[in-house]
């Protein structure tokens, strides 16, 4: 399996452990990741609120680069996934926008035809790799763990742009968690917003959101939470201590990236998965392996 | 099987669930099932309904934890997905009885946005003359005029749960309807007042988009209002966040997390000093230095080409 790899800015910045663990997992699964090094940031919804047309053009530039290599795009960030899928949908529905975008891209020698697909690693493992095959690769089944899946927003909504699973009752994370031998929990908040998009300017609200969902998962007995989005990870993990201080709730719930979860079950050494960079201690989880 | 949240303030101290068995068959909607329960099992079950055609918005309620019109929701689709169909009243509004809520808060927020056309004096003086919109102009406002004021977006708005200053998606989309109307006298004034009524409180959760029974997509309207607010010189933290994103991408092609922090939060960044130190000790503090991506000139050229192309 070969993909045009779009790790996103946060995986190469504040959540570098996501980038590192994905590289390890891809190696183990025999997946070739051809990084789109000349691709620009997806804009995470903010670029769309600065200049929507530019947002379309720059994201299409990324898609066209993958298309030139005849490869689908693989992302490890739900937000990048959502933004690029929305741009694809806009271009599909609006022929005038499609032409205007290609007119601009023509000036840098690129053309977008609309053939490329954008797939999160979560989708790739289910659709392309297959859960049975993944299950067969598990060397350290996570049987002693109860895992809380946190989908967040961009990988599910708007549903007409994502089209991977039922946004009202998603089960992709649950299916993977079960394939790795762990128990998957349901809790109130698993498909809600982690608060990240307003973390820098509506902090009180953002903290209330994250601490409530973390607490809900904890109350259901979760040993740890998993998220396919590094922005959710920042809100739920990096800022967890600050959020719980404001909410006066002690959660101390470890939150892992999706690739780290896979890596654990594949028997990749924890130090290669970047757990030492976590702000909430993973010690209890790693001891339980 | 239906699990319905019941609450009668004259009897109950707090809400509780009652379970009802209904044979789900054919093209049965959740509203059909509720009427069946009321008719054959419990006449005290209270809910609003009227047109049964997705027009009036009366029968809006939470069905399996998402707000929907009961008359447009197939029980035959919901039932196989869940062990029991969970029916609850809307969120973000006080409960009156069973599935009926007091929508006063929703209407007050709508009013806060002044959802009416403010005409200039010449138009107001001569009401005998029609003031028609072009087909293109009509396209924007007619989509936003499709609202049936059911409150589904308000009910599922996560920000509203925690931030009562946020006037909610319906109100903002309604404002956009008039900002986009060329006959309105005060579009810039409307945009200027947005920050105080919560323009930057929306988190992009997209529930208002996915749950709107008329596909109005309030979040898209909110994003457009943000574009206009930024273009008008909005200096709030939310607008600074957008500008910092744009600057960073233009400079390097990538997001620079450090400058995003600094430019958005300014001195408030000191609140995170402790966290930044801990992040630095773990080797993951955001660095202000990021090298530009290969072919950054292409990104900058796109910036120049698209500059100033902001539409209502």
For B66, name the nearest residue in chain A, comparing CA atoms only. A168
DSSP assigned state of B71: G
pLDDT recorded at residue B309: 56
Partners of residue B66 in chain A, C-beta under 8 Å: 168
Q: Is A44 touching B (CB cutoff 8 A)?
A: yes
- Topology (CATH) of A2-120: Glutathione S-transferase Yfyf (Class Pi); Chain A, domain 2 (1.20.1050)
Residues A161, A153: Cα–Cα separation, whole Å: 12
ipTM for the complex shown: 0.96
**Cβ <8 Å between A209 and B162:** yes
**Cβ <8 Å between B210 and A193:** no
Residues A27, A21: Cα–Cα separation, whole Å: 10
Partners of residue B217 in chain A, C-beta under 8 Å: 158
Residue pair B87/B62 in contact by the 8 Å Cβ criterion: yes
Question: pLDDT for B133-171, tens place per residue?
Answer: 888 888 877 788 889 999 999 999 999 999 999 999 999
Residue pair B236/B201 in contact by the 8 Å Cβ criterion: no
Choose the mutation target among A50, A153, A186, A196 for the interface with B, i.e. most B CBs under 10 Å: A50
DSSP assigned state of B308: T
Residue B120 has pLDDT above 60, yes or no: yes
Residue B61: strand pairing partners: B68
Domain extents for chain A? 2-120, 131-287
Choose the mutation target among A14, A46, A63, A207 for the interface with B, i.e. most B CBs under 10 Å: A46
Residue B305: strand pairing partners: none
DSSP assigned state of B2: E
**Cβ <8 Å between A168 and B81:** yes
- Topology (CATH) of A131-287: Rossmann fold (3.40.50)
Query: Which residues make Cβ contacts (< 8 Å) with residue B221, sequence separation at least 6?
Result: B144, B169, B172, B173, B176, B177
DSSP assigned state of B294: T
Residues A71, B40: Cα–Cα separation, whole Å: 59
Touching B: A residues 65-104, CB under 8 Å: 104
**Cβ <8 Å between A238 and B245:** no
Terminal Cα distance for chain A, rounded: 29
Partners of residue B226 in chain A, C-beta under 8 Å: 49
Please state whether beta strands A73-75 and A118-120 pair in parallel, antiparallel, or not at all (unpaired). Answer: parallel
Residue B124 has pLDDT above 80, yes or no: no
Please state whether beta strands B85-88 and B60-63 pair in parallel, antiparallel, or not at all (unpaired). Answer: antiparallel
Residue B16: strand pairing partners: B6
- Tell me the three state secondary structure of residue B61: strand
Write the DSSP assignment of chain A as a string of letters.
-EEEEE--TGGGTTTHHHHHHHHHHHHHHT-EEEE-TTPPP--TTTGGGT-HHHHHHHHHHHHHHHHHTT--EEES-HHHHHHHHHHHHHHHH-HHHHHHHHHHHHTTT----S---EEEHHHIIIIII-HHHHHHH-SS--TT-EEEE---STTTSSHHHH-SS-TTS--HHHHHHHHTTPEE---TTTTS--SGGGTTT-HHHHHHHHHHHHHHHHHTT-SEEEES-HHHHIIIIITHHHHHHHHT------EEEHHHHHHHHTT--GGGTTGGG-SS--HHHHHT-
How many Å lie between the alpha carbon of A202 and the closest alpha carbon of chain B? 7
- Backbone angles phi and psi of B67, in degrees to 5: -80, 125
Residues A183, A144: Cα–Cα separation, whole Å: 8
Nearest CB to A202 within list B163, B243, B309: B163
The dihedral built from the CA positions of residue B122, B128, B134 and B135, taken in this order, carries a sign that is positive
How many Å lie between the alpha carbon of A13 and the closest alpha carbon of chain B? 6
- Tell me the three state secondary structure of residue B78: helix
**Cβ <8 Å between B299 and A61:** yes
How many CB pairs below 8 A link A and B? 184
Question: pLDDT for B58-117, tens place per residue?
Answer: 999 999 999 999 999 999 999 999 989 999 999 999 999 999 999 999 999 999 999 998
Q: Is A256 touching B (CB cutoff 8 A)?
A: no
Partners of residue B241 in chain A, C-beta under 8 Å: 46, 200-201
Residue pair A30/A75 in contact by the 8 Å Cβ criterion: no
**Cβ <8 Å between B265 and A201:** yes
Residue pair B76/B28 in contact by the 8 Å Cβ criterion: yes
pLDDT recorded at residue A202: 94
Mean pLDDT of chain B: 93
Partners of residue A282 in chain B, C-beta under 8 Å: none
The dihedral built from the CA positions of residue A49, A50, A55 and A56, taken in this order, carries a sign that is positive
> pLDDT truncated to tens, each residue of chain A (289 aa)?
999 999 999 999 999 999 999 999 999 999 999 999 999 999 999 999 999 999 999 999 999 999 999 999 999 999 999 999 999 999 999 999 999 999 999 999 999 999 999 999 999 999 999 999 999 999 999 999 999 999 999 999 999 999 899 999 999 999 999 999 999 999 999 999 999 999 999 999 999 999 999 999 999 999 999 999 999 999 999 999 999 999 999 999 999 999 999 999 999 999 999 999 999 999 999 998 8
Nearest CB to A47 within list B200, B246, B275: B246
Residues B229, A161: Cα–Cα separation, whole Å: 26
Share of chain B above pLDDT 70, in %: 98
Partners of residue A104 in chain B, C-beta under 8 Å: 302, 305-306
Q: Is A52 touching B (CB cutoff 8 A)?
A: yes
Residues B174, B156: Cα–Cα separation, whole Å: 17
The dihedral built from the CA positions of residue B90, B217, A174 and A253, taken in this order, carries a sign that is negative
Count of CB atoms within 10 A of residue B297's CB? 11
Average pLDDT rounded to a whole number, residues B48-56: 96
Instruction: With residue B252 as reference, give the H or E element that holds it.
Output: helix B237-252
**Cβ <8 Å between A238 and B299:** no
For A209, name the nearest residue in chain B, comparing CA atoms only. B162
For B65, name the nearest residue in chain A, comparing CA atoms only. A168
Partners of residue B279 in chain A, C-beta under 8 Å: 14, 238, 279
Query: Which residues make Cβ contacts (< 8 Å) with residue B97, sequence separation at least 6?
Result: B7, B8, B9, B46
**Cβ <8 Å between A201 and B204:** no
- Tell me the three state secondary structure of residue B45: coil
Residues B299, B306: Cα–Cα separation, whole Å: 11
Q: Give chain B's domains with CATH numbers.
A: 2-101 (3.10.20.30), 104-231 (1.10.1060.10), 237-306 (no CATH)
**Cβ <8 Å between B237 and A47:** no
Write the DSSP assignment of A52-92 as a string of letters.
HHHHHHHHHHHHHHHHHTT--EEES-HHHHHHHHHHHHHHH
Partners of residue B309 in chain A, C-beta under 8 Å: 51, 53-54
> Where do we find the tokens 């796109």?
B302
The pTM is what?
0.96
How many Å lie between the alpha carbon of A216 and the closest alpha carbon of chain B? 15
Question: pLDDT for B208-254, tens place per residue?
Answer: 999 999 999 999 999 999 999 999 999 999 999 999 999 999 999 99
Touching B: A residues 216-245, CB under 8 Å: 238-239, 242
Q: Using a CB cutoff of 8 Å and minimum separation of 24, what contacts does A99-105 make?
A: A100/A53, A101/A56, A101/A57, A101/A60, A102/A60, A104/A57, A104/B302, A104/B305, A104/B306, A105/A57, A105/A60, A105/A61, A105/A64
Partners of residue A156 in chain B, C-beta under 8 Å: 206
For B82, name the nearest residue in chain A, comparing CA atoms only. A169
């Amino acid at each position: 399996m070969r993909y045009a790899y779009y790790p996103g800015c946060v995986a190469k910045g504040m959540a570098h452990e996501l980038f590192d663990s994905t590289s390890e997992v891809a190696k183990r699964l025999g997946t070739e990741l051809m990084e789109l090094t000349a691709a620009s940031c997806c804009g995470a919804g903010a670029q769309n609120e600065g200049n929507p047309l530019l947002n379309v053009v720059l994201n299409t530039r990324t898609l066209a680069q993958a298309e030139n290599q005849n490869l689908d795009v693989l992302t490890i960030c739900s937000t990048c996934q959502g933004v690029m899928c929305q741009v694809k949908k806009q271009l599909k529905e609006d022929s005038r926008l499609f032409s205007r975008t290609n007119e601009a891209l023509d000036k840098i020698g690129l053309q977008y035809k609309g053939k490329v697909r954008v797939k999160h690693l979560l989708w790739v493992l289910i659709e392309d790799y297959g859960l049975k095959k993944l299950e067969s690769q598990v060397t350290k089944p996570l049987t002693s763990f109860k895992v809380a899946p946190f989908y967040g927003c961009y990988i599910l909504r708007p549903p007409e742009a994502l089209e991977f699973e039922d946004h009202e009752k998603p089960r992709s994370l649950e299916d993977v968690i079960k394939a790795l031998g762990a128990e998957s929990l349901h809790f109130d908040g698993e498909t809600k917003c982690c608060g990240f998009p307003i973390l820098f300017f509506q902090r009180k609200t953002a903290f209330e959101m994250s601490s409530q969902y973390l607490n809900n998962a904890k109350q259901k007995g979760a040993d740890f939470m998993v998220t396919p989005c590094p922005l959710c990870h920042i809100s739920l993990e990096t800022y967890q201590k600050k959020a719980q201080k404001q909410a006066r709730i002690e959660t101390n719930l470890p939150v892992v990236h999706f690739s780290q979860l896979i890596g654990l079950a594949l028997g990749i050494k924890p130090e290669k998965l970047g757990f030492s960079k976590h702000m909430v201690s993973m010690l209890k989880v790693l001891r339980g392996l | 099987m239906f699990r319905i949240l019941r609450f009668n303030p004259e009897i109950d101290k707090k809400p509780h669930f009652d379970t009802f068995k209904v044979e789900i068959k054919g093209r049965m909607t959740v509203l059909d099932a509720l009427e069946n329960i009321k008719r054959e099992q419990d006449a005290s079950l209270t809910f609003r309904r009227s047109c049964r055609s997705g027009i009036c918005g009366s029968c809006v309620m939470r069905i399996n934890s998402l707000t929907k019109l009961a008359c447009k929701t197939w029980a035959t689709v919901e039932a196989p997905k869940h062990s029991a169909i969970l029916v609850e009243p809307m969120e973000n509004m006080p409960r009156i009885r069973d599935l009926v809520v007091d929508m006063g808060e929703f209407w007050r927020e709508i009013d806060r946005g002044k959802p009416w056309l403010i005409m200039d004096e010449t138009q107001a003086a001569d009401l005998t003359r029609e003031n028609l919109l072009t087909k293109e102009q009509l396209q924007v406002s007619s989509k936003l005029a499709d609202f049936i004021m059911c409150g589904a977006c308000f009910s599922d708005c996560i920000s509203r749960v925690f931030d009562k200053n946020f006037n909610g998606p319906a109100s903002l989309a309604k404002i956009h309807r008039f900002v986009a109307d060329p006959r309105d006298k005060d579009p810039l004034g409307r945009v200027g007042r947005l920050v105080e009524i919560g323009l930057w409180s929306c988190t992009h959760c997209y529930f208002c988009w996915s749950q709107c029974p008329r596909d109005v997509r309030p979040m898209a309207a909110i994003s457009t209002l943000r574009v206009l607010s930024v273009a008008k010189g909005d200096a709030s933290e939310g607008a600074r966040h957008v500008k910092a994103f744009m600057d960073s991408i233009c400079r390097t092609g990538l997001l620079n997390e450090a400058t995003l922090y600094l430019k958005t939060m300014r001195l408030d960044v000191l609140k995170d000093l402790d966290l930044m130190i801990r992040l630095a000790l773990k080797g993951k503090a955001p660095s202000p230095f990021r090298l530009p991506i290969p072919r950054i000139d292409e990104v900058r050229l796109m910036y120049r080409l698209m500059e100033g192309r902001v539409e209502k």
